[in-house]
Structure 1
């Protein structure tokens, strides 16, 4: 059961003082049997009172208001976490779509997570589905082949997409980063009525060659009949085991943004996000993203806009 030390700093700088910075944060580890929180320290400029609650998707969420004028807002998370999941998932690769329909029936959140958005490129999505799905294929096998298709047919390139990039735009670029691949996989699976959800967190493989290592990351959880939520990472084409640390889940990135909010003042702002992941053997992987923002304060968990890679 590996232990990871994760240091995450979100820092906003303003060219003149601002005030009444109201923020909502989702940088608390997700409460689930697969990870154990050994220590978590949260340090915020001005030490405002943080009110904590669980949101609709059961993400631990904090809100605070930094009232006095300030030119810097720093939100620092120091996390020591042990992942307790097995390194080998025991997924039922014989689970059928008929079983899925039975388990989905009457379950509001599963039904919500199985509804695709309406997009212009649905015909192209349907063509992908003809490649990855055949009658009789299990739900797990279909999810696995979906991940493999995205991994092989879409290039991993930083900087050509941003937090506002849509699935339609990704289908044109045929390239992006982890957030884009997660959104594409969600749409494909939901087009087959498979409940699935967006996941934000960290990837901690402690080896070279994994995309998103030492930074915030995004992947997908699909509902597998007889098993439940199973994580799958299309950016790296792997099932999620004990090398991913989960922060929050939701329908898409907007439900999982680690920091978002607003402030009063006509200031220009600069956002930087630093993430370091330390391992028991002493190795540390780290990454810093600098982001230019306008108006609304929002830490983005995606590509060069401050987060997921």
Structure 2
């Protein structure tokens, strides 16, 4: 009986030890992630004069994919002047670790010249407007100004170390050469045209087989139906019969009607087919 209880007690202690160890490891892992994997901001040297503010921002973009495109600075100074200053600037969206140099204007100069630094705080916000994500960094204003004035790392050097550089792909194209037999030598090309005596017979036969010319006729009446588009085709063919105005086509009062073939040609040339006529019996 005592042996059984002793074994159960030992087993309980072993299980308890495993649970405690797992809990400690989990807490340690969380603490390490909190200390070393959280977003960080580094104040850099600005090239934009008195109103310039440069910073570098790093975060785990694999866990938090976002495009950061704005920085905000908020001064809280309840016991001196100015009591509060808000200033912001936009920049091109960044999807991986980056450094930027922005111009915050005269409001940033107010922050640099503020008094009561021991009781004031400065909050820096790095914002992704598109994704609705903001990371906050809080400083004592005096500490911020010390870091700002002592900054000597440039944006270019920060981006060179941490920024994402996209290399251009290199494509290799295989070249091939082909050796072919020369084209066979042929006689001079002979053109099959009517002026070539070798083919004169073929064109003569075609001319003999052509349809006979149509016999001319007299027209009894010619008129224009509605729908004329005043294209001038009929007047161009037979102006003695047709007169095209700005709005329609007219038949001339003294129009000759003895050349039915030209009237027929005019009717066939009309794109809207409004020229009508009857043959004389």
Q: Which has the higher strand share?
A: 1
Indicate the structure whose relative CO is greater, using CA pairs within 8 Å and at least 6 residues apart: 1
TM-score band (shorter)? under 0.3
Structure 2 length-normalised TM: 0.21
Structure 1 length-normalised TM: 0.20
Q: Which has the higher helix share?
A: 2
Structure of greater Rg: 2
